[in-house]
């Protein structure tokens, strides 16, 4: 996510803001910038790359100002570049602003500003629209102009705004993006998150949605959407800086597991209109396009490969098109059949995985259409694709992928349903049912996360095991693969996953007293077979953790412990059933004293072969 910082007071605003931006680095970013009010002029410095890039260019300039705003950008609209970096300004540079969020109606607003008011845009961002909107409404009162501009906007935003004619003032406002106000002595602050301010103050106001803030160095005023001033309790921060970056979570991985409801919601609901039509961010795949496609490959690595397996399931089930899924490191060396009737779908969180990138380039060189599902805007995979569908999981810091995975699953379901609708291979009521079930997932994931205690208890019992098995049938095989990868990569337990039906073809020879085995049994039509498999392994001494839907209680008589997921249709269970298994891997790794966020030998982005 982007990070914003603002300062007004007697210190050097440039130093305070840069310190704050450095403390927000963990949020992930690709560029940074600062705007300072110097002698009644707004000076803006902003560059692609690390904050050090910005520091190297401005610290020698001795910029003396007591008022300014700064930003670290996590690109959503417009690739990382100097001109797309924040702060953004109006045409005459009298206003500067920083923004964290997404303005959903920015295209219409941009057209209105260009056609009706001759505004000239200098960036590809949604944010720049806000600067021109505020300018349009500005009539000597910055707070008033921000109210009017915000009234035109739809989407999520946390804004910090300054005007050269109001040098001692910062205006801020939030909706669905975080914003806090730091309370100092003869100085005040705004920021996206507490770590940015901890060096200067531990007293903050937590700002709620649709609240506006007017800051001077001596005064903080908070207003509601009706412009009435409101009082707010001071929140005293008890965390230290490191804990605050994780917003009170012990590890980034746990924080990112708990961010999944929001990531799923944003990735899903911003792409479905009120009539239930799916918009793939402007990607058009017509019926003619699909009729021309002879082969679909989904290619990825690790967790992203597992998302590809669910993609195969969804596209074949809904769109009735055969799909081949391969790990990128194999795909590129086996001389696959590729031509201009091939659709190549790459999935990648980082967008920099060298195996995936190399496979994509091979497919592109041979004429395939390249569609990618990627989390990092402007990454290499994104830049080299014909079509990009972004997961909006926000930056994923922990090496073990969690929220990127569930948003990748949402993405493949949306693409599959879109294709099915275009091809006419799905009944309307079934399409509507699946969409309804997907929309209900954020709340169901939230419910699972609120009931993590049983999972922790299982981790207590099993965390000293050296081996672990995961079994499943149908889509639960993929969940078993992903759960097994999570466990092995952060706890170093030797775990593996197999289709339950394969047990009798060899692996059951390994089952003995106390074998730690997780049986994922969420598919109604395969439930009885899974119960039989559980009996088989129980008979040989295994300790079985069952994963099942709430309404399927029979499993309690077979398994030693059961983790339930909220009822849903079979098709969408993977997005739910993986969540408690992410938590299980997390708790086991913590109890084994492992470095959960940075497991040994692993990198967050594997940019080497
Ligand atoms: C998943 O937890 C691992 N960190 C790893 O398998 C990862 O999924 C794989 O390296 C692919 O990374 P990407 O999604 O960034 O391409």
pLDDT, tens only, 437-469: 999 999 999 999 999 999 999 999 999 999 999
The span from the CA of 307 to the CA of 564, in Å, is 22
pTM: 0.76
For the CA of 300, the closest atom of ligand 1 is 16
Dihedral pair phi/psi, residue 33, rounded to 5°? -165, 170
pLDDT, tens only, 27-40: 778 899 999 999 89
Residues with CB under 6 A from ligand 1: 301-304, 348-350, 353, 356, 399-401, 489, 605-606
The span from the CA of 222 to the CA of 135, in Å, is 22
pLDDT, tens only, 139-181: 999 999 999 999 999 988 999 999 999 998 999 999 978 899 9
pLDDT, tens only, 391-437: 989 888 899 999 999 999 999 999 999 999 999 999 999 999 999 99
User: Which residue has the least CA distance to atom 5 on ligand 1?
Assistant: 302
Mean pLDDT of 178-187: 94
Q: What is the Å distance from ligand 1's center to 30 Cα?
A: 20
Q: What is the Å distance from ligand 1's center to 301 Cα?
A: 6
Dihedral pair phi/psi, residue 118, rounded to 5°? 60, 25
Mean pLDDT of 105-128: 95
Q: What is the Å distance from ligand 1's center to 348 Cα?
A: 7
Residue to substitute in 349, 489, 595 for testing ligand 1 pocket (most ligand atoms within 8 angstroms of CB): 349
- Catalogue all structural domains in the chain, each as residue range(s) with its CATH number: 3-244 (3.60.20.10), 252-439 (3.40.50.10490), 449-591 (3.40.50.10490)
Confidence of residue 283 (pLDDT cuts 50, 70, 90): confident
Percent of the chain exceeding pLDDT 70 equals 98
Largest CA distance in the chain: 81
The span from the CA of 196 to the CA of 205, in Å, is 14
For the chain, the average pLDDT equals: 94
Do residues 569 and 559 touch, judged by C-beta distance below 8 A?
Answer: no
For the CA of 408, the closest atom of ligand 1 is 14
**pLDDT of 560 over the 90 cut:** yes
Buried-state track 444-466, b at ≥16 Cβ within 10 A, e below 16:
bbbbbbeebebbeebbeebbebe
Q: What is the Å distance from ligand 1's center to 254 Cα?
A: 17
Do residues 344 and 371 touch, judged by C-beta distance below 8 A?
Answer: yes
The span from the CA of 462 to the CA of 194, in Å, is 36
Known catalytic residues are 2, 604
pLDDT, tens only, 483-531: 999 999 999 999 999 999 999 999 999 999 999 999 999 999 999 999 9
**pLDDT of 54 over the 80 cut:** yes
For the CA of 489, the closest atom of ligand 1 is 2
Do residues 316 and 412 touch, judged by C-beta distance below 8 A?
Answer: no
Q: How many CB atoms lie within 10 A of CB 140?
A: 9
Find residue 222's DSSP bridge partners: 213, 230
In the 3-class helix/strand/coil scheme, how is 236-280 assigned residue by residue? Answer: ECCCCHHHHHCCCCCCHHHHHHHCHHHHHHHHHHCCECCCCCECC
Q: What is the Å distance from ligand 1's center to 602 Cα?
A: 10
Nearest partner of 299 among 321, 322, 331, judged by Cα = 331
- Taking the alpha carbons at both ends of the chain, their separation in whole angstroms is 29
Handedness of CA 240, 68, 96, 146 (dihedral sign): positive
User: Which residue has the least CA distance to atom 3 on ligand 1?
Assistant: 400
Dihedral pair phi/psi, residue 558, rounded to 5°? -110, -45
pLDDT of residue 209: 87
């Amino acid at each position: 996510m982007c990070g914003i910082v603002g300062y007004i007071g007697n210190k050097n605003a440039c130093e305070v803001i840069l310190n704050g931006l450095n403390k927000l680095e963990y949020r992930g970013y690709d560029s940074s910038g600062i705007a300072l009010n110097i002698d009644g002029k707004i000076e803006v410095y902003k560059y692609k790359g690390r904050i050090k890039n910005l520091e190297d260019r401005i610290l020698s300039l001795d910029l003396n100002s007591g008022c300014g705003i700064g930003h670290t950008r996590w690109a959503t609209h417009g690739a990382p570049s100097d001109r797309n970096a924040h702060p953004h300004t109006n045409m005459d540079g009298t206003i500067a602003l920083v923004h964290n969020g997404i303005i959903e109606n920015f295209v219409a607003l941009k057209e209105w500003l260009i056609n009706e008011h001759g505004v000239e845009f200098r960036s590809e961002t949604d944010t720049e629209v806000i600067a021109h909107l505020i300018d349009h409404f500005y009539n000597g009162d910055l707070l008033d102009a921000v109210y009017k501009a915000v009234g035109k906007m739809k989407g999520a935003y946390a804004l910090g705004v300054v005007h050269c004619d109001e040098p001692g003032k910062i205006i801020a406002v939030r909706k669905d993006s975080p914003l806090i106000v730091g309370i100092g002595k003869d100085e005040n602050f705004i920021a996206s998150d507490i770590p940015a301010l901890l060096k200067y103050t531990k007293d903050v106001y937590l700002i709620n949605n649709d609240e506006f803030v007017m800051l001077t160095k001596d005064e903080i005023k908070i207003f509601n959407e009706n412009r009435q001033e409101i009082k707010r309790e001071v929140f005293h921060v008890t965390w230290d800086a490191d804990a605050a970056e994780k917003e009170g979570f012990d590890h980034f991985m746990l924080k990112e597991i708990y961010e999944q409801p929001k990531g799923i919601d944003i990735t899903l609901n911003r792409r479905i209109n009120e009539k239930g039509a799916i918009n793939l961010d402007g990607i058009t795949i017509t019926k003619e396009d699909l009729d021309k496609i002879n082969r679909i490959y989904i290619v990825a690595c690790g967790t992203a490969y597992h998302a590809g397996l669910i993609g195969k399931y969804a596209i074949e089930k809904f769109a009735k098109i055969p799909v081949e899924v391969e790990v990128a490191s194999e795909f590129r060396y086996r001389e696959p059949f590729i031509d201009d009737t091939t659709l190549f779908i790459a999935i990648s969180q980082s967008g920099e995985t060298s195996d995936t990138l190399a496979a994509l380039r091979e497919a592109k060189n041979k004429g395939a259409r390249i569609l990618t599902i990627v989390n990092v805007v402007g990454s290499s995979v994104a830049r080299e694709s014909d079509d990009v569908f972004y997961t909006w999981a926000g930056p994923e810091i922990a090496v073990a992928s969690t929220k990127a995975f569930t948003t990748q699953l949402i993405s493949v379901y949306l693409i599959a349903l879109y294709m099915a609708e275009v091809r006419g291979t799905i009944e309307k009521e079934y399409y509507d049912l699946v969409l309804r079930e997907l929309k209900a997932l954020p709340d169901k994931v939230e419910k699972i996360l609120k009931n993590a205690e049983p999972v922790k208890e299982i981790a207590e019992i099993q965390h000293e095991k050296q081996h672990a098995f995961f079994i499943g049938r149908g889509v639960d095989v993929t969940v078993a693969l992903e759960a097994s990868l999570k466990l092995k990569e952060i706890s170093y337990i030797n775990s593996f996953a197999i289709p339950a039906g394969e047990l009798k073809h060899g692996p059951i020879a390994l089952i003995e007293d106390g074998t730690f085995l997780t049986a994922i049994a969420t598919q109604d039509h395969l439930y009885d077979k899974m119960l039989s498999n559980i009996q088989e392994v129980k008979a040989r001494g295994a300790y079985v953790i069952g994963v099942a839907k709430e309404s399927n209680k029979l499993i309690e008589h077979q398994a030693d412990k059961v983790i339930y997921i909220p009822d849903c249709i079979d098709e969408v269970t993977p997005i739910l059933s993986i969540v408690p298994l992410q938590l299980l891997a997390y708790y086991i790794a913590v109890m084994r004293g492992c470095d959960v966020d940075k497991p040994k030998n692993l990198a967050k982005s594997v940019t080497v072969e």
